[in-house]
Amino acid sequence: MQQITIIQYGAGNLFSVANLIRRLGYTVTCTENPDILRQADKVIFPGVGQAASAMQRLQANGLDTLIPRLEMPVLGICLGMQLLCNRSEEGNVKGLGIFPADVVKFPATGKIPHMGWNQVSFQDSLLSRGIEEQEWMYFAHSYYLPPNDYTTAICTCNQIPFSAVIHKDNFWGCQFHPEKSAEAGQQLIQNFLNL
């Protein structure tokens, strides 16, 4: 039985994610203990809240240096995905630097935050198996990652395209909340656990 570990750092709706993983038949641990994280088969890095305070919590536990060195598959969700990047305009905070790209704020000219269901254009990838090419996912964010070389799915808000899924080496990220995205979100989590 593989060990699924969720990073617990005070900035996530980790219980919804944990409940989904349990419904899929897996054992899951929520922790900020570096030793337990190193032993995981898969790591999920959720996040809801403010980037600067989240990074402070990661730094306090040494997770800011541990996470980039993890070698098992890692999935960042929402703020977790954004923190995998170089920098965020939210608090002008330095991220973990795994993805060489910067997170920026949506302009105030449209409806912000981007909240609710929106259609995602998926490219064929390991995370998108069994998911419709134009699938609906649930979002809640005011900052976004522009499309880049690591983007594997795109969404549009206020006519601005942004990265909905990113991938580099053993690191994945999704801007939407798969745990709130019905069967398609569940399929994405299952695909990640199958990596």
Can you give the pLDDT of all 195 residues of the chain as single tens digits? 899 999 998 877 788 999 999 999 999 999 999 999 999 999 999 988 889 999 999 999 899 999 999 999 999 999 999 999 999 999 999 999 999 999 999 998 888 999 999 999 999 899 999 999 999 999 999 999 999 999 999 999 999 999 999 999 999 999 999 999 999 999 999 999 999
**CATH topology for 4-193?**
Rossmann fold (3.40.50)
DSSP state of 12: S
Domain boundaries defined on the chain: 4-193
Whether residue 177 lies in the annotated active site? yes
Pick the catalytic residue from 114, 141, 167, 177: 177
Three-state SS letters, 145-182: CCCCCCEEEEEEECCEEEEEEEEECCEEEECCCHHHCH
Pick the catalytic residue from 78, 155, 157, 174: 78
Pick the catalytic residue from 32, 90, 135, 179: 179
The Cα 181–Cα 136 span in angstroms is 8
109 CB-contact burial (10 Å; exposed 0-12 / middle 13-18 / buried 19+): exposed
Alpha carbon of 130 to those of 20, 127, 182: distances in Å? 18, 9, 14
